[in-house]
Structure 1
Amino acid sequence: MANGNQTEVFVYEQVVILMSCAVSFLGSLLIICTYATWKDLRTTPRKLLVFLSVTDLLSAASYLYGVWRMFDSNTWDCVVQGAISTFANTSSFFWTVAIAIYLYIFIVKSSQRLADSLVLYFHLISWGVPLAITVAALSLQKIGYDASEVSVGWCWVSIQEKDHVLWMLLTGKIWEFLAYVTLPVLYALIKVHIHKAHAALSEYRPILASRVASSSPSAMADWKLTLIPIIFIVLRVWSTVRFLLLLFDSPARQNPVLVTLHGVGNTFQGAANCIMFTLCTRAVRVRLATLLGCHRHAAPGGSDPPSRPTSGTCTRSDVDQPAEVHTWEDEEE
């Protein structure tokens, strides 16, 4: 499994992780495209999701190059790829937490004005801090070949540096640990607030209590609030495990199953967000299905369209149906 201090990455692991990178890249691109296409979906939470998707797209692209290239030395493109992935990955942590903070203030504190006023600070922190860290690491020549000891083919912090553990913490791990704590707490507080609000409302509207919870918009939002921190932790925990095993110099970090889970977990975040906030969001899903239906039923060969609409055809107005969307909870309506 290992060659000296280098973790061997098998071909099947490489193929699986390359597929994960490609799916995540396309998923992040789909989130960005849907936001750009439909104006009434351009809410602040979804705008923050777009910024997160930009970082996930950069991460997926840089990881894809790294896994395809399978670096074995400290080359110039290894350093470039490592710098891009370091910036994008760290920025992704900040934007993920920023979205949770925004939703907490918007829902629990019931202050959209305060939540919106924080967006500028989200930009300054979520772009500025990762950029400063990456520039510092580049300037001190800390980014380079890591022998796949804490990666899967791509470059990160050079394993030959004596203070590589410190720089691994600064360029990702410390922010990852903070996200593990922050996300569950914030989303748990949001869920508790929503449940209390629904309980109070049901006292005055008994009919609401008789509705099937699984089919209600609030149930879908509650389901998403539960999954967001869970998915983040499930995807990222394998990277954390390998890092901790490296600290204890355990050969278990080179286990092929663990290496594969690490590779998929680090690269699949964009795809996971796309599934939750695009494919599992009715307002977006219906539009995509309608748009695909338009292309599928378009007249072949450039022939003139029929003079009358028939079943299975649609117009632009069918795709661009206006909808008042304020939060992800409303998008399910």
Structure 2
Amino acid sequence: MDSGNQTVVPIPEQVVVLVSCALSFLGSSLIILTYVVWSDLRTTPRKLLVYLSVSDLLSATSYAYGVWRFFETNSVDCVVQGAISTFANTSSFFWTVAIAIYLYVYIVMFNQRLADSLVLFFHCASWGIPLAITVAALCLDKIGFDASEVSVGWCWVSIQAPDYLVWMLLTGKIWEFLAYLTLPVLYVLIKRHIHRAHSALSEYRPILAGSSPSHTTMADRKLTLIPVIFILLRMWSTVRFLLLLANSPARRNPVLVTLHGIGNTFQGAANCIMFVLFTRPLRTRLAAALCCGRWSKPASANGSEAASNAALEGPSRNWAHG
């Protein structure tokens, strides 16, 4: 591979990626804020989404600094930025898979106790493994300038390292590939279970004319879109990595580089759009808070549980009906 050339990212493309970083930072912050402010939204699926948002917020911040600086050589801040983005990006992979596993156990296996017991394991894996990998890469001087070969201005694995491909796999790509294999399987199994549940329920609809869909089916259905969002956004960086393996100059294509920059930085914004802005109860609360300054939980005749159900079921019902 010709490591003497750096992928050129024109200023307009840098601006686009910086805007994506800013939107992801704001989106992740809004997900965390709504969880903190409104206690009735603190269900386990929302909590897992918050942990994912923390990773996405760190990623967006570190990527924004890298795109703004657009490193052209190794430096201390390059290594620091590369380490933070490596940890946050890998952690995001783990939390995305963790959410899918939780939903599978909770919805398909119908075992909430087992699903909740996995949360501690998710913490150990999703924070511990990325941290251990990042510390090892730092100690062995593997983090540094990568000439934007598989980045967009930010630092990752040093392109000067003789085993840079191995460390690119260890610090991100192998976990990304495993997520590509794991998430669709879990996603399809969850969707099949939901479809069967709906089919079984439809037989009784003439008798239960006034009933509403179950909380389990409707409330968590929208969260299954997280793997889809992940794959659609992350695929561009995977394409560039495969082109790097093939030593193809197509990895420097401006359109592909821009899509890579947006895909790696937009997940926090995408999750916010799906699970906050497209969630009617949350959207109503945010509108009230912005217009009238009311951040307190609205009164509910059925108490906290009813408000929580509405916050999760509402968006799913809207999404199902277009």
Normalising by structure 1, we get a TM-score of: 0.87
- State how many pairs are aligned: 310
Kindly provide the amino acid, as one letter, of the partner of residue 201 in structure 1.
Answer: L
Greater Cα shift, 176-185 or 61-70: 176-185
User: Is residue 107 from structure 1 mapped to residue 90 from structure 2 by the alignment?
Assistant: no
Aligned mate of 2:227, from 226, 229, 251: 229
**1:151–1:185: structure 2 CA closer, same or farther, 3 Å change rule?**
same
Q: Any unmatched runs of 5+ in structure 2?
A: 318-322
Aligned mate of 1:265, from 263, 266, 269: 263
Q: Which has the larger radius of gyration?
A: 1
User: Is residue 275 from structure 1 mapped to residue 258 from structure 2 by the alignment?
Assistant: no
Superposition deviation, residue 330 in structure 1: 2.9
What is the CA–CA distance in structure 2 between the aligned matches of 1:176 and 1:137, rounded to whole Å? 18
**1:293–1:319: structure 2 CA closer, same or farther, 3 Å change rule?**
farther
| Partner SS, residue 71 of structure 2 | coil
Query: Is the contact between residue 6 and residue 148 of structure 2 (CA under 8 Å) also seen in structure 1?
Result: yes
Superposition deviation, residue 326 in structure 1: 5.4
Superposition deviation, residue 122 in structure 1: 0.3
Instruction: Write the deviation string for residues 46-83 of structure 1: whole angstroms up to 9, x where unpaired.
Output: 01111110000000000000000010111000000000
Residue number in structure 2 paired with 1:248: 246
**1:173–1:320: structure 2 CA closer, same or farther, 3 Å change rule?**
farther
| Partner SS, residue 52 of structure 1 | helix
Superposition deviation, residue 187 in structure 1: 1.5
Normalising by structure 2, we get a TM-score of: 0.89
Query: Is the contact between residue 17 and residue 264 of structure 1 (CA under 8 Å) also seen in structure 2?
Result: yes
Instruction: Write the deviation string for residues 205-257 of structure 1: whole angstroms up to 9, x where unpaired.
Output: 2367999x9xx9967865653x4332211110110000000011100000100
Superposition deviation, residue 293 in structure 1: 2.3
Residue number in structure 2 paired with 1:146: 146
| Partner SS, residue 22 of structure 1 | helix
Superposition deviation, residue 5 in structure 1: 2.2
What is the CA–CA distance in structure 2 between the aligned matches of 1:86 and 1:285, rounded to whole Å? 33
Residue number in structure 2 paired with 1:169: 169
Query: Is the contact between residue 202 and residue 208 of structure 1 (CA under 8 Å) also seen in structure 2?
Result: no
| Partner SS, residue 203 of structure 2 | helix
Which structure 2 residues correspond to residues 110-125 of structure 1 after superposition, within 5 A?
110-125=110-125
User: Is residue 34 from structure 1 mapped to residue 34 from structure 2 by the alignment?
Assistant: yes
Superposition deviation, residue 183 in structure 1: 1.2
Kindly provide the amino acid, as one letter, of the partner of residue 28 in structure 2.
Answer: S
**1:198–1:140: structure 2 CA closer, same or farther, 3 Å change rule?**
same
Residue number in structure 1 paired with 2:193: 193
Q: Any unmatched runs of 5+ in structure 1?
A: 296-314
**1:327–1:3: structure 2 CA closer, same or farther, 3 Å change rule?**
farther
User: Is residue 330 from structure 1 mapped to residue 313 from structure 2 by the alignment?
Assistant: yes
| Partner SS, residue 257 of structure 2 | helix
Residue number in structure 2 paired with 1:286: 284
Kindly provide the amino acid, as one letter, of the partner of residue 59 in structure 2.
Answer: S
What is the CA–CA distance in structure 1 between the aligned matches of 2:283 and 2:216, rounded to whole Å? 15
Superposition deviation, residue 282 in structure 1: 2.0
**1:224–1:206: structure 2 CA closer, same or farther, 3 Å change rule?**
farther
Query: Is the contact between residue 72 and residue 145 of structure 1 (CA under 8 Å) also seen in structure 2?
Result: yes
What is the CA–CA distance in structure 1 between the aligned matches of 2:249 and 2:209, rounded to whole Å? 54
Superposition deviation, residue 258 in structure 1: 0.5
CA RMSD of aligned residues (A): 2.6
What is the CA–CA distance in structure 1 between the aligned matches of 2:3 and 2:171, rounded to whole Å? 26
| Partner SS, residue 206 of structure 1 | coil
**1:125–1:217: structure 2 CA closer, same or farther, 3 Å change rule?**
closer
Superposition deviation, residue 280 in structure 1: 1.3
Superposition deviation, residue 200 in structure 1: 1.1
Greater Cα shift, 321-330 or 18-27: 321-330
Which structure 2 residues correspond to residues 25-104 of structure 1 after superposition, within 5 A?
25-104=25-104
Kindly provide the amino acid, as one letter, of the partner of residue 230 in structure 1.
Answer: V
Residue number in structure 2 paired with 1:309: none
